[in-house]
Amino acid sequence: MRNIRFREALREAMIEEMERDDRVFLMGEEVGHYQGAYKVSEGMLEKFGEKRVIDTPIAEGGFAGIGVGAAMVGLRPIIEFMTWNFSAVAFDQILNNAAKVRQMSGGQLTCPIVFRGPNGSARQVGSQHSHSMEHFYATVPGLKLVAPSFPADAKGLMKAAIRDDNPVLVMESETLYGVKGDVPDDQDAIPLGKAAVVREGKDVTIVAYSRMTHVALEAAAALEKDGISAEIVDLRSLRPLDEDTIVASVQKTHRCVVVHEGWPYGGVGAEVSDRVQRLAFDALDAPILRVTTWDVPMPYNAKLELACLPQPDRVVAAVKQLVRRAQG
């Protein structure tokens, strides 16, 4: 067991899979000579050379399309977006080619490709660089999507994504790259579609993923001081979604709060809420609540940005609202 940073865990996963399978290669803006915009690919150019660690122009639609074509003819590309905000330029390649080629070819073609990069808000990067893009992509049949919260999960899910024969989107919170965590020396792939209960509790289920899992853990620590025991389900995988783990937790706690970084209209939180009310309605003692980013473009101002994003105090307030309702 080693204590390493989130970015180091991602790097290890890519290196190990590139060593295991010579069809795997990395391509994106600044992944090579600059060592990665966030240093995730540091040292990989020196190790694998320019044929397998490929710097690209600022042309997301172009290099995403090259990756899709390479995957269709038998390679296994890892395509890095400098930020998932920029993937909007490549949306057609992901939506209309990567996601659909298996079905539209009658299974004659597959698209084993990974799209990865930082997602969500950072710190004062403005509204055009602060989108939580998972809500857009999780709606698309044919895509798989993961959003790890801890280094061990980042490594395990990345390895699984690279080995998968379908397009997998790995969305990494920009604010988690420096976070440290224990990673087993023999960390293998973590199956896609499996959530994890990262904190046991009995009074309320808090469902979260990526950076919001850390916000939920802070909220749970504050709630414990008031005698409220919160169980936290870290989704890890958004599509496929592990509804069994969510439902089992809600049946245990009888209350549910979903926390996600993204706008409230539609999205992952709404999908989780729908499944809980359909599959665990009789277990609920109170309505399902969501804690989300406010329904506005992200402000640049630091205080306004913090006010927009889900914070532990907002999660605490939502939980206490449910507990008061049940007690009243």
Render 120-144 in DSSP notation, one character per residue: S--SS--GGG---THHHHTTSTT-E
Give CA–CA dist 77/93, Å, rounded: 14
User: Catalytic: 19?
Assistant: no
Catalytic position from the list 17, 129, 131, 305: 129
Give CA–CA dist 307/119, Å, rounded: 19
29 with 166, same domain? Answer: yes
Give CA–CA dist 219/212, Å, rounded: 10
156 with 213, same domain? Answer: no
Which DSSP letter does residue 222 get? H
Residue 189 domain-assigned (yes or no) = no
Instruction: Tell me which of 183, 212, 227 is where a domain ends.
Output: 183
207 with 152, same domain? Answer: no
Residue 304 makes CB contacts below 8 A (sequence gap 6+) with none
The confidence score (pLDDT) of residue 24 equals 98
Residue 191 domain-assigned (yes or no) = no
Question: What string of pLDDT tens digits covers the 328 residues of the chain?
Answer: 899 999 999 999 999 999 999 999 999 999 999 999 999 999 999 999 999 999 999 999 999 999 999 999 999 999 999 999 999 999 999 999 999 999 999 999 999 999 999 998 888 888 888 889 999 999 999 999 999 999 999 999 999 999 999 999 999 999 999 999 999 999 999 999 999 999 999 999 999 999 999 999 999 999 999 999 999 999 999 999 999 999 999 999 999 999 999 999 988 999 999 999 999 999 999 999 999 999 999 889 989 999 999 999 999 999 999 988 766 5
Location of structure tokens 């409230």: 264
User: Catalytic: 17?
Assistant: no
Contact 276, 286 (CB under 8 A): no
Residue 263 domain-assigned (yes or no) = yes
The confidence score (pLDDT) of residue 326 equals 61
211 with 240, same domain? Answer: yes
Contact 189, 134 (CB under 8 A): no
Contact 10, 118 (CB under 8 A): no
In 186-209, which positions are buried (b, 16+ CB within 10 angstroms) versus exposed (e)? ebebbebbbbbbbbebebbbbbbb
Instruction: Tell me which of 153, 183, 213 is where a domain ends.
Output: 183
124 with 222, same domain? Answer: no
Residue 144 makes CB contacts below 8 A (sequence gap 6+) with 161, 164, 166, 167, 168, 169, 192, 237, 239, 240
Integer CA distances (angstroms), 273 to 76, 280, 289, in order: 35, 10, 8
**CATH number for the domain that contains residue 76:** 3.40.50.970
The closest of 257, 231, 235 to 244, measured between CA atoms, is 235
Residue 188 domain-assigned (yes or no) = no
Residue 190 domain-assigned (yes or no) = no
Contact 190, 156 (CB under 8 A): yes
Give CA–CA dist 10/15, Å, rounded: 9
The confidence score (pLDDT) of residue 100 equals 97
Range of the domain at 247: 196-327
27 with 132, same domain? Answer: yes
Give CA–CA dist 241/213, Å, rounded: 16
Model's pTM, two decimal places?
A: 0.95
CA angle 181, 193, 144 (to 5 degrees): 100
The confidence score (pLDDT) of residue 274 equals 96
The confidence score (pLDDT) of residue 54 equals 98
Q: SS3 string of 46-89? A: HHHCCCCEEECCCCHHHHHHHHHHHHHCCCEEEEECCCHHHHHH
Instruction: Tell me which of 157, 183, 209 is where a domain ends.
Output: 183
Residue 310 domain-assigned (yes or no) = yes
Location of structure tokens 């004659």: 108
Catalytic position from the list 8, 29, 60, 261: 60
**CATH number for the domain that contains residue 322:** 3.40.50.920
155 with 18, same domain? Answer: yes
